[in-house]
Amino acid sequence: MNQQPQSAYEPLSEGSAILLTKKLGLFNETASLECREIGDGNLNYVFHITDSNSRKGIIIKQALPFAKVIGEAWPLTLKRAVIEANALKLFGKLCPEYVPEVYYADEELAITVMEDLSHLTITRTGFIEGESYPLLSRHIGEYMAKTLFHTSDFAIEHGRKKELAVQFSNPELCKITESFVFTDPFFDVESNDFEEELKAEVVLLWNDSELQLEAAKLKKSFITEQEALLHGDLHTGSIFACETETKVIDPEFAFYGPIGFDVGQFFANLLFQAITRKGKDRELMFKHVEVTWDVFTETFRTLWENEGMEAFCKTKGYLDYILQKILEDAFGFAGCELIRRTIGLSHVKDLDGIENTAERIAAKKAALQAGKILIKQRKNKTDISFIINTVKKPALTVNY
């Protein structure tokens, strides 16, 4: 690969993305390159470059100096592109089967050039269309156990962990999560976004002092606990899949935080599907939640027993204590994700896409109720059935 040094920052266009691709020598001389900007996320440009002769493609993701969804009024650090590229590289070393390959990254241009995953589908989109992704939970359980264990104090030497925590210090992106996941949805502030029909429920939520206290504790945990290098935004819009393959993209929110945050966000996004499905399709989502946790704990346990570096790894009861903490945290973080994606700034299509208003409102009320229960009742719940039974409650089941 013929890699050239790049110049100072400028936003790419479809034309300049092709020129850059040629400069990088990622295709052969005879390639006939086409480019389309396909970004559908909140923050960045994503250019899809294909060679119409070989049908091969690459992706160039570029951070803008502001949040794309809001515009220039919301400046945002370009450093997130470096965090994303480095996280992809590190997670790719730990489990290459679940992470796209990074071909090139340029800090000044804030770009990451990576493997084209267009043969797969974003799982949120696929789920909404009725897909089941039979191996998704097995793959994500393994992905989380490997990335989280191997970047934790249980697996790496003290100094290395501290260096990584500094390298992945990500204050601006963490602030987004602190505001939009852990703060704003619990208060009457302008950034919240919900239908008038939900107002009574939302006011109850804002006045629920027990909920506020538990949300405050979860926020504190997110801010202060440097347990492992998290993906930081592990929802079904950050996962590509098909029947047999799974790839996790978009770790620009990566930072050292509590392990249960990744686990809980993934659970919550499976639950949005459970809330919107019925019958055996709904059961399938509960099964995904259960398998995720089973595979996560099995894999984490094996890694702990075989590769644990921490002096107390062999101390009876310590691993069980750690897994119990991760589970309780995950329930609480899942609750926050359910609430923020329902009434906060950034929604999910699983709920917003329900066309029938009465059904959409009922689904959103169920998500809010489930979120509140998970946050308030998470303590001492030792089994994954707690999260499943919460959403299965008849009062939370929507009659579609």
Ligand X SMILES: Nc1ncnc2c1ncn2[C@@H]1O[C@H](COP(=O)(O)OP(=O)(O)O)[C@@H](O)[C@H]1O
Ligand Y SMILES: CSC[C@H]1O[C@H](OP(=O)(O)O)[C@H](O)[C@@H]1O
Task: Give the interface with ligand X as residue ranges (CB under 6 A).
Answer: 38-44, 46, 59, 61, 100, 114-118, 122, 238, 249-250, 252
Q: At what angle do helices 260-276 and 385-392 cross, to 10 degrees?
A: 30
- Residue with smaller CB distance to ligand Y, 31 or 176: 176
Nearest to 91 by CA among 82, 81, 101: 101
Q: How far is CA 32 from CA 22, 51, 54, 102, 262, in A?
A: 10, 5, 9, 22, 40
What does residue 140 show for φ and ψ, rounded to 5 degrees? Answer: -70, -35
116 annotated as belonging to a binding site for a ligand:
yes
State the binding partner of 39 from ligand X, ligand Y, none, CB within 5 to 8 A by kind.
Answer: ligand X
The reply on whether position 105 binds ligand Y by CB under 6 A is: no
- Residue with smaller CB distance to ligand Y, 38 or 69: 69
Q: How far is CA 300 from CA 170, 350, 377, in A?
A: 26, 30, 25
Site residues (CB under 6 A) for ligand Y, limited to 33-52: 41-43
What does residue 112 show for φ and ψ, rounded to 5 degrees? Answer: -125, 125
- Residue with smaller CB distance to ligand Y, 178 or 290: 178
In the stretch 333-362, what mask flags binding to ligand Y with x, by CB under 6 A?
Answer: -------------x----------------
- Asked if 396 contacts 369 with a C-beta cutoff of 8 angstroms, the reply is yes
Q: Write the single-letter amino acid at 58.
A: I
State the binding partner of 100 from ligand Y, ligand X, none, CB within 5 to 8 A by kind.
Answer: ligand X
Q: Kindly state the tokens that stand for 85.
A: 């590229």
281 annotated as belonging to a binding site for a ligand:
no
Q: How far is CA 147 from CA 72, 94, 257, in A?
A: 34, 6, 13
Shortest separation between residue 317's beta carbon and ligand X, angstroms: 40
State the binding partner of 249 from ligand X, ligand Y, none, CB within 5 to 8 A by kind.
Answer: ligand X
44 annotated as belonging to a binding site for a ligand:
yes
The reply on whether position 200 binds ligand Y by CB under 6 A is: no
Q: If residue 205 lies in a helix (H) or strand (E), which one and from where to where?
A: helix 199-206
Q: How far, in Å, CA of 314 to CA of 308, rounded?
A: 9
The reply on whether position 233 binds ligand Y by CB under 6 A is: yes
Site residues (CB under 6 A) for ligand Y, limited to 124-183: 176-177, 180
State the binding partner of 346 from ligand Y, ligand X, none, CB within 5 to 8 A by kind.
Answer: ligand Y
Q: Could you list the residues known to form a binding site for ATP, using ranges.
A: 44, 61, 115-117, 250-252
